Structure 1
Amino acid sequence: MRVTLDAPTCRNAQVPTMWAEMERLATTLPPEIRVVVLTGEGPAFSAGLDRGMLTPGGVDGEPDLLGLTADGPEALADLIETFQHGFTAWRECPALVVAAVQGPAIGAGFQLALAADLRIVATDVRFAMAEVTLGLVPDLGGTHALTSLVGPSRALELCLTGRSIDAHEAVATGIASLAVEPDQLDATVDDLVAAVLGAPENTMREMLGLFRGIESRTAAEQQRTERGAQARILCAMTAAMRGRTRPGA
């Protein structure tokens, strides 16, 4: 399944209604969907938040962020929590989520890519946690995801400076798994998806469970997670073998 940001004329800038739709998609995936690919139409993955959201009156059909500041920080924080669900939902869905990222992935665009389990990037990728350039902080789950990949010191530096990360640095720091030429991105992602779908479904889903949340587990907790997963796989495998060899089968 592909989920494509499809507003190329504005470099796939994001708005809250888009985040609500992403949450809906992530939380209503059909059970047969094993892999989701997040992409952006056109030369940019996403330029981040639509800047119109930060102007008086905001964007038609979207929450008036500046107007809502009159309700105080707690009410605004509650609203932002609903925005965050469009990102965290991908980390909680049962499918493997792969971000295929080309060109700019700025601010909310970077945070959406970080919400995926894996990132395959084009050599023209440009990641940046650029909220600081607007006097803001990242608030869509990106700080935790980035820190788990690159460590707190580098994550802080990236968020404080808003500087760009190219494909080489993205791979070297573990933000991306692989960088390929732009014209090879789709084929490379298709090959990855094919390899994942070639594995037994229960193994793939157990593997996903092993690695999601691994940064918050102790070594002993991870070992317990591993042995539980392996035991379930072996029991299912044995049950299937018995089903194939039962008398009269």
Structure 2
Amino acid sequence: MALLDKDGVRLTVDDTVATVSLTNPAKRNAQSPALWRALAEAGRSLPGTVRVVVLRGEGKSFSAGLDRQAFTPEGFEGEPSFLDLARGSDELLDATIAEYQEAFTWWRRNDIVTIAAVQGHAIGAGFQLALACDLRVVAEDVQFAMRETSLGLVPDLGGTQPLTALVGYARALEICATGRYVQAEEAERIGLANLVVPAAELDAAVQDLVAALVAPPRDAVIETKALLRGATGRSYDEQRVAERAAQGRRLRDLAGLSD
């Protein structure tokens, strides 16, 4: 069932699994503000039954990043150009970027597990969109790159925190500052990719992972994800307290004693 299909984004739902597809393969799924708004809307449109969300890009590339039209004086039709935004107030610029970021934030919600199925190019905003997800299954032809610095910009769509958490500060800095390509073997070795498979096997590998993720009781997965996401911000003793509280909730629930 398709709940959304506009501006290069399609959301379909099959019981507990949703699929968000980038649907402009002719432009290698290049991104725009309209696409970001559609992605944010997809997050708001998820039924409460959904446990796993798969993000994929149609065609040979996952997403080649921001559409270069954004940097032209005219920008996108009906949108302020980036040059116009730069000339505006600090408040307007901050609010606009915050709106763009909404497309990249909901993927880490505790009540869902998100998987990026990545093939071909995942450049700039495309790389950050893959990083927005909890897990990444990639094809052998994948090419990640953070190209913002080559344009005189910074990665501003939520990608810097997960990238640093996955690969460490020094490697994250090197990847971002040089803008170089990270290919499949390295991506798996340094923790960017959970699994690398031949391109022809990408969909099947993702489906196997989806099946494994929906097998355990939902509330146990939600509590576990929340524990892991919060772990880096807590001390060891604070994490033990959080574990005890979560386990207490699970035990009471299993015993039929929860509110």
Q: Which residue of 2 aligns with 1:245?
A: none
Alignment of 1:11-50 (within 5 A): 11-50=28-67
Aligned identity (percent) is 51
Moved more, 21-30 or 122-131: 21-30
Pairing of 1:65-214 with structure 2 (within 5 A): 65-92=82-109, 94-214=111-231
Q: What SS class does the counterpart of residue 240 from structure 2 fall into?
A: helix
Q: Which amino acid aligns with 2:50?
A: I
The answer as to whether partners of 1:120 and 1:179 remain within 8 angstroms in 2 is yes
What is the count of residue pairs matched by the alignment?
241
Structure with more of its chain in strand, by fraction: 2
* Matches for 1:52-63 after TM superposition, within 5 Å: 52-63=69-80
Choose 1 or 2 for highest CA Rg. 1
Displacement of 1:61 in angstroms is 3.1
Report the Cα offset of residue 65 of structure 1. Answer: 1.4
Partners of 1:8 and 1:41 within 8 A in 2: yes
User: Who is 2:240 aligned against?
Assistant: 223
TM-score (norm 1): 0.92
Of 245, 249, 252, the residue aligned with 1:232 is: 249
1:16 and 1:63 in contact (8 A); partners too: no
The structure whose residues are more often helix, as a share, is: 1
With 221-230 and 196-205 compared, the bigger mean Cα shift is at 221-230
Query: Any unmatched runs of 5+ in structure 1?
Result: 241-249
Residue 158 of structure 2 aligns with an amino acid whose one-letter code is G
Structure 1: which 4+ aligned runs deviate by more than 3 Å? none
